[in-house]
Structures are given as structure tokens and as C-alpha cells.
Amino acid sequence: MSTNDKLAPGMVLGRYELLLPIAQGGMATVWAARQKGSRGFQKTVAIKTMLPTLSDDPQFEQMFLDEAALAAKIHHPNVAEILDLGEQDEILYLVMEWVDGEALSVVHKAARKNNTQLPQRIALRVVMQACAGLHAAHELHDENDVPLQLVHRDVSPQNILVTYDGIVKIVDFGVAKAVGRSGGETTAGQLKGKVPYMSPEQTRGGNVDRRTDIFAMGIVLYKLTTGLHPFLGENDLVTMRNIISRPLLPPRVKNPNYPQELEQVLVKCLQKDPDKRYQTMIELGNALERALASMGIADDDIGGFVRTLMGDRGAKRRAALRDAVRVADERFATGTHPQVIIAPTIHENVSEIVLTKMNSGVTREELLPDRVSVPAGPSSTPSSLSGVSPPLVVTGEPTPDEVAGMRRNRSGLYLGAGVAVAAAAIAFAFLHNSTASTASGAAHAPPSGAPAVSVTAPPTTQPAVTAALVETAKPTPSASTTVVSINDLPTTDDKKKGGSTGTGAKAAPSASADVPGKAPRAASTQWVPTVQNPGF
């Protein structure tokens, strides 16, 4: 069995969702969880999972299974009911009824912290209910009506729960033993249970029966009514020796006001010889009822006392549980079963134009007629269109005809960009050529009266990137293609006839100037790209 240290709120074990951890005992961790059903049904339960340090121990795993098998057969108001046993991802878990209360050990500790003594009548009422639950466990029969002779073997204040409504519940049959069953036998040299609440025969490792639980219940009652443990020593070894051999100190020795009838009950419960004790839990309960009657009539409101003593502890736990349920509901809506806000279905070409805010020359209404709207507020803007101003909400998918038009618009957009780059390159080259020719003529101007010499600038080679861009933007020629040539551009005669420079020298003829005695030279188009209609 693998460890369960990865368990966390929100994880699901079978039909149960973990909400928050409640307590940790010697063998397991207890979680508050909820069971969900159809039509909104849900129920809070407690789930016990084995501790990681014990999960790989076959013996503790068997104890865990025995608890489920034995306690699930007990049906009594004073026993916490076992609802289910499951396994998921090699994690065994036990599902129990949810008990809104505190362990008796917590109640007793809170009383001592407040310098108050647990009222004896309240203590007797609690123990009487616990005895009723244990008697039901002791009287358990199997499916063939054969007594199982079940023994809890771990009766202690930690395993007696008191609800805020005053109901007592026995829990944790993890070390319970059924006579004749192999699962509950004790290995030689091994003790099961808490040492301070063991019986003499249990401490010695001998045979145990229901009278062992009676001895343990006597220790619980002694501690609740006197505030002291009758056999507690410096360590477990001393405590065990005291349980076996030290005589019981009667409560009236230290407190003469202690009720005599109650003292007699305690003395009989804590006899070293099992035959001298009460033989059944129901017999012990009847004796406590008689002692309670001798103490006079009083209002024994267990729930009211616990609520007053514990303050807002129960309210805080219930609030934490409500918060955990709320978080679980939010997790169900957005986490475990995410409901992701899906952006509208937009064609690839449309999304490229809209999201990059490129000016395609097409208005929004022309782009997606009857399916583009501007939200009234920012809260309705889809997250994927948050960069568009104003934001667009697309309510449908374009038709095939609209998609074809969008493709043509985008193609024209790309061609327009290519033509703009090419035109800029042509203008730059033309101006650069003219400037170079003028500068060269001025530097080599002939003396005054000398014949003019024609200087022709070599064609300028443009960068490969510009040529590649223009060639990429060039569409397939068609009958409607219009060719733009450099010859159609207006020419400028850079020759300054009769002009002079600041130094008195004549300006040199430009590369496009006519040479005397020769025919006019046509403008060169070797380096000028042929630009076709971009489709606008």
C-alpha cells in the first residue's frame, strides 16, 4: 500500500471529496469530506486514511480492515457508524458518519485550562452513554447469529466523542479484537492500546474480554471525576507496574465530599481480578444510574455544558467547513471541472487582421456584417480580444464568400506593403544617383571654354532584399495588368544653362543631360523593377 501524503483538499476518493483535515491519531488522519449525489444531494462525512508511515505495514493494514469489518456491523446511536470502505490509488480509506463535537480528552483539557472541574453529573451522563455504545459492540453477532465477543481494547477519552448536542459516540475500533478471529490476535511481546488505560490482563499480554473495557472505563470515570489518573507513573513502564500491582486509592481518601455511591462503582470497576468487576457494560451503566439518582436531581445538559466550555471552537469548525464547501463548489466550477470561457470562433484570416490592428482598408461593418458588435462595458470583452480598441465581439463564423473576400483584402494588403517598400527604394536610388553625378561634375569641372564632357553614372545595383521583396509581391500577369515604367515618370533637367557656382565655375552636366552632337539618351531601366497593379 502506497503512501497518501499527497492527499489535499479537493481530491476525490471514490464518491467522496476531501474538504479539510480534522484530526490525526496513532494510525490515521481524519478528513472532513462530502458525498455528492444526483439532484444536488450532498452529505458531510468523515474519512479516515492510514498514515504514510504505517501504510506499508501489512499488520496495520489488517487492523484498518478489521476496524471496518467489525465496526460496520454495529448499529447504535452511541457508536459512530461506519458507512463505507474504499481503495483508490492503493490508498485505503474508511468513511464514517460526521460527528459535530469534541473528544472527551479535549473537553477535559479545556476544563483544566479554565481551572474548572468537569461536573460529576455531566461526567456520569457521558460515561453512561459510552457504556451503552460499548455494550452494543460487546453483544455483536455475526450473520449466523454467533456472538463475536468483540472487545474494543482502546477505551480512552480520545476515543469518546461528545457532540455539541450532548450525544456521545464511541469511535476507533482499530485495535478491537473478536475472539476466534485471526485478524485481531495480539502477537507475542506486542501491546495494543494506550498503556494508561489498559487492564492488568491486557498489560501482561493475557487473554482479554469485555471486562477489559470495563476496567478502562473505570479509569476514564476516575480521571473525569477526580482530575487524577489512579495508576499514572513517570513512564509507561511504571504505569504498567502500577496497573498490575498497586492498590487503588479510593477517591474519598483525598476528597471526603466525593459521593460514596460513586466511589463504590469505581472500586468495583478497577478490581485487578476480572471476576470481581462488573461483568457487562449494561451492569455498569445501571450502577451509574443509581449513583446519579442518589446525588439528587439536577439539569444535566451535556450539550449546553460543552458549548459553554468550548466557546466558539465548534462555530469556527463549522465556519471552516462551510468555507471548505464553498471553495469546493468554486473548484468544481472552475478547477476540477473547468468551465473555460472560450473565445468566439474566428477564421484565421480575420483574427490576423483584427488582432494585429492592421489597416486593411476594410471597415469593421464590411469585415463581418451583422456579426460585429461593440460591448457596452469592458466586462463583456473576451480575453482573447482585450488588445483591440474598441473591443470586438464576433458572434458567428464568416461564410465562404466572406472568407474569400478577406483573403483578397489581405493579399492586397501585403502587395501594397511590398510596393511601398519598392517605391521607397527606387526614390532613394534615383536621388542618390543624381546627387553622386552632380558632386562628380562639380569636382571635375573643365576650365572655362573647354568642351563639355558627358559623364554617365553606372547603373546602381539595389540590395538583394528589396529585389526579393518586390519579386515576392509580384502577382501573375493578366490582361488587366498595368506596367509602370520609369519612362512614364517626369524627367528633370539638372543642367543649369548659363548658371554658375559660387566660385564662378559652371555646373557639370548631369547624367541625363544631352551631349552636343549626339541623340538624346533614353533613360536606363535595367535596375528599375516592373511594378504591377497590387489589386487595390
- How confident is the model over 257-276, as a mean pLDDT? 96
| 67 grid coordinates | 476496524
Tell me 521's DSSP state: P
Q: Are 67 and 74 in contact (CB under 8 A)?
A: no
The residue among 427 and 164 whose pLDDT is bigger is 164
Tell me, what's the pLDDT at 517? 53
pLDDT at residue 340 greater than cutoff 60: no
Helix (H, G, I), strand (E, B) or coil at 372: strand
pLDDT at residue 31 greater than cutoff 50: yes
Tell me, what's the pLDDT at 411? 56
380 pLDDT tier (thresholds 50, 70, 90): very low
pLDDT at residue 77 greater than cutoff 90: yes
pLDDT at residue 531 greater than cutoff 70: no
pLDDT at residue 97 greater than cutoff 90: yes
pLDDT at residue 355 greater than cutoff 90: no
Cβ count near 485 (within 10 Å) = 11
- How confident is the model over 358-387, as a mean pLDDT? 45
Q: Which of 35-44, 54-63, 121-130, 321-330 has the highest mean pLDDT?
A: 121-130
pLDDT tens across 440-489, in order?
A: 555 445 444 444 444 444 454 444 544 554 455 455 544 444 555 545 55
Spell out the residues 6+ positions from residue 190 whose beta carbon is closer than 8 angstroms to its own: 205
pLDDT at residue 82 greater than cutoff 50: yes
Lowest-pLDDT range, 9-13, 145-149, 208-212, 423-427? Answer: 423-427
Tell me, what's the pLDDT at 137? 93
pLDDT at residue 250 greater than cutoff 90: yes
Tell me, what's the pLDDT at 175? 61
18 pLDDT tier (thresholds 50, 70, 90): very high
Tell me, what's the pLDDT at 200? 96
pLDDT at residue 324 greater than cutoff 70: yes
Q: Which of these CATH numbers, 1.10.510.10, 3.40.50.2300, 3.40.50.300, 1.10.10.10, describes 12-329?
A: 1.10.510.10
Torsion sign over Cα 201, 203, 209, 212: positive
Lowest-pLDDT range, 247-261, 274-288, 348-362, 479-493? Answer: 348-362
- How confident is the model over 154-168, as a mean pLDDT? 95
Q: Which long-range contacts (CB under 8 A, 24 or more apart) does 229-238 make?
A: 229/196, 230/270, 231/196, 232/196, 236/195, 236/196
Tell me, what's the pLDDT at 413? 60
Q: Are 172 and 25 in contact (CB under 8 A)?
A: yes
Question: If you compute the radius of gyration of the chain from its CA atoms, what whole number of angstroms results?
Answer: 48
| 79 grid coordinates | 457508536
Q: Which amino acid is at 260?
A: Q
7 pLDDT tier (thresholds 50, 70, 90): confident
- How confident is the model over 404-426, as a mean pLDDT? 67
108 pLDDT tier (thresholds 50, 70, 90): very high
Of the residues 154, 213, 323, 493, only one is catalytic, namely 154
Instruction: For 480, list phi and psi in degrees, rounded to 5.
Output: -95, 10
pLDDT at residue 530 greater than cutoff 80: no
Helices 302-310 and 104-113 cross at an angle (nearest 10°) of 60
Specify the residue for cell string 473478536: 178
Q: Which of 148-152, 268-272, 471-475, 488-492 has the highest mean pLDDT?
A: 268-272
Tell me, what's the pLDDT at 345? 35
Query: Where do the CATH 1.10.510.10 domains begin and end in the chain?
Result: 12-329
Tell me, what's the pLDDT at 230? 95
pLDDT at residue 28 greater than cutoff 70: yes
Tell me, what's the pLDDT at 76? 94
5 pLDDT tier (thresholds 50, 70, 90): low
* Residue 417: HSE in the Cβ half-sphere, 13 Å Cα cutoff: 11
In the predicted model, what is the mean pLDDT of the chain?
A: 73
348 pLDDT tier (thresholds 50, 70, 90): very low
Residue spans of alpha helices (H) in 311-399: 313-331, 348-356, 364-367
Q: Give dist(CA 391, CA 192) in Å, integer.
A: 70
Q: Which amino acid is at 431?
A: L
154 is catalytic: yes
Sheet holding 82-88, edge to edge: 12-13, 16-24, 28-36, 42-50, 91-97, 82-88
